[in-house]
Chain A
């Protein structure tokens, strides 16, 4: 998988790290030069394993991670890393923090399902996707303290939600 540097948008990203400042870990991908300019003296890393190690360094001790095991199926995160396969539906919540960066990477930055739900025939799935997008925009507007835009987005969400019902 080839990633572009998020800072210069030109060179190939060779340094991958996960920042754990907020609730959710955030992935960053930089080229060598940009990583150095940002004062990140990281050794070159790539791939899922190193991403994981980075995350581990910052949030958990290695031993703690090794012990992280699903109480329902008994799968450890180390085993998942080897096989790429989860052991049971519960693993999505047991390993959630570790899976989110992986999901972002494989699903083009997405971490939330917007498609069909059990029992629905799908025609309103598009409306739900639009609402999900508006909600993301709304979050960003609030973050940027653009309250005028936020108010407009809230109205749009309300209108769309009513149509859906």
Chain B
């Protein structure tokens, strides 16, 4: 069994459903964009330079303290389906899956660290945890960065900081992103207000699978856009102590208000979602996310006790197209997938029979 096959059998760090504010915060992620001195950026690197970069960086990662626990997936040897599995697990970007030439990702066994080699920048270090845990993540990624810095020289400039292929990442090269589950704000149509506030604070809001994806199932990724002229600690502090707690508080307030003022409508939403998931004979991944989102809200609010968060999180992953095909060990058409998906959901929810309510 390949390492990727092994991954599909576990839940993935970002879906563990633990950590501070986990009723709303799915996961926290920090990434650092780095490039090596003495090489062009990737758009101008020829094949042999790209190969050299890949080799040099994989060796450095392997030799660093995190190297013991890491496996490196070389994309030139990986099937498209396997790369798609990595995208669905949030270990690599879509852009990276569809890139060209020597490239890959180093993933730790716990899936808490994923270092993309030769994506838009030579190196993108990422660390990931469930719940809101930005300070711990910053310490972790700083240590990884430092240990790599001992072996290689980054492209760095006194004035502009860490130099990146795109000037929108220059300076710290830091991107903090937090994935939030905001079903209540969506239901009462307050979500646009959150977006506007985020926009005013120079934050980006994206869907569950990153750039250019819709916010399916009320899952949103909030991230910083300013990377220059602020310290890493300032950016992280603002996120962890102000921005995210405020959004969480807003969502929780609306959840409470709904439970107080419209409990029947709320329970109806949750139970209808459960009813469809348990009975449907064909289902798209979007619909599955949408319905699982409502159940997740019910569980987080303590109104629905027959499924645990862990199960919902597993289903969020396993109903994704590439995971579904991995589980069935075959390539499936869109129609076949929606039939298998419905079947999987029915089977998993069957084990959790509600007794009361």
A152 contacts chain B at the CB level, 8 A cutoff: no
Q: Evaluate contact between A83 and B160: CB separation under 8 angstroms.
A: no
Report the count of interface residues on A (CB-CB < 8 A).
36
- A99 / chain B contacts, CB cutoff of 8 Å: 167
A99, A102, A114: most-surrounded residue (chain B CB, <10 A): A114
Q: Evaluate contact between A113 and B165: CB separation under 8 angstroms.
A: no
Q: Evaluate contact between A87 and B44: CB separation under 8 angstroms.
A: yes
Q: Evaluate contact between A113 and B167: CB separation under 8 angstroms.
A: no
Given A85-B165, A112-B228, 14 other A-B residues pairs in contact with their CB atoms under 8 A: A74-B44, A89-B41, A89-B163, A106-B168, A106-B225, A108-B202, A113-B158, A113-B228, A114-B231, A115-B174, A116-B142, A118-B154, A121-B142, A129-B231
A97 contacts chain B at the CB level, 8 A cutoff: no
Q: Evaluate contact between B160 and A122: CB separation under 8 angstroms.
A: no
Query: Complex: how many Å from CA A102 to CA B168?
Result: 9
Q: How far is the CB of B90 from chain A (nearest CB, A)?
A: 24
B227 contacts chain A at the CB level, 8 A cutoff: yes
Query: Complex: how many Å from CA A19 to CA B172?
Result: 28
Query: Complex: how many Å from CA A139 to CA B118?
Result: 41
- B157 / chain A contacts, CB cutoff of 8 Å: 89, 92, 113
A107 contacts chain B at the CB level, 8 A cutoff: yes
A58 contacts chain B at the CB level, 8 A cutoff: no
**Neighbour of A108 across the interface among B156, B167, B226, CB < 8 A:** B226
A30-65 CB mask vs B (1 if < 8 Å, else 0) is 000000000000000000000000000000000000
- B231 / chain A contacts, CB cutoff of 8 Å: 114-116, 125-126, 128-129
Q: How far is the CB of B304 from chain A (nearest CB, A)?
A: 40
**Neighbour of B233 across the interface among A89, A118, A122, CB < 8 A:** A122
A113-156 CB mask vs B (1 if < 8 Å, else 0) is 11111110110011011000000000000000000000000000
- B199 / chain A contacts, CB cutoff of 8 Å: 2
Q: Evaluate contact between A119 and B229: CB separation under 8 angstroms.
A: no
A residues adjacent to B (C-beta < 8 A):
2, 72-75, 83-89, 92, 99, 102-103, 106-119, 121-122, 125-126, 128-129
Contact size range, B: 35 or more
Q: How far is the CB of A101 from chain B (nearest CB, A)?
A: 11
Query: 3 closest Cβ contacts across the A-B interface?
Result: A110-B229, A113-B161, A87-B44
Q: How far is the CB of B173 from chain A (nearest CB, A)?
A: 9
Query: Complex: how many Å from CA A87 to CA B44?
Result: 5
- A85 / chain B contacts, CB cutoff of 8 Å: 41, 43, 120, 165-166
Chain B residue nearest to A120 in the complex (CB): B146
B230 contacts chain A at the CB level, 8 A cutoff: yes
Q: Evaluate contact between A88 and B228: CB separation under 8 angstroms.
A: no
Q: Evaluate contact between B41 and A88: CB separation under 8 angstroms.
A: yes
- B233 / chain A contacts, CB cutoff of 8 Å: 122, 125-126
Known contacts A108-B229, A121-B146: does B167 contact A102 (CB below 8 Å)? Answer: yes
Q: Evaluate contact between A89 and B232: CB separation under 8 angstroms.
A: no
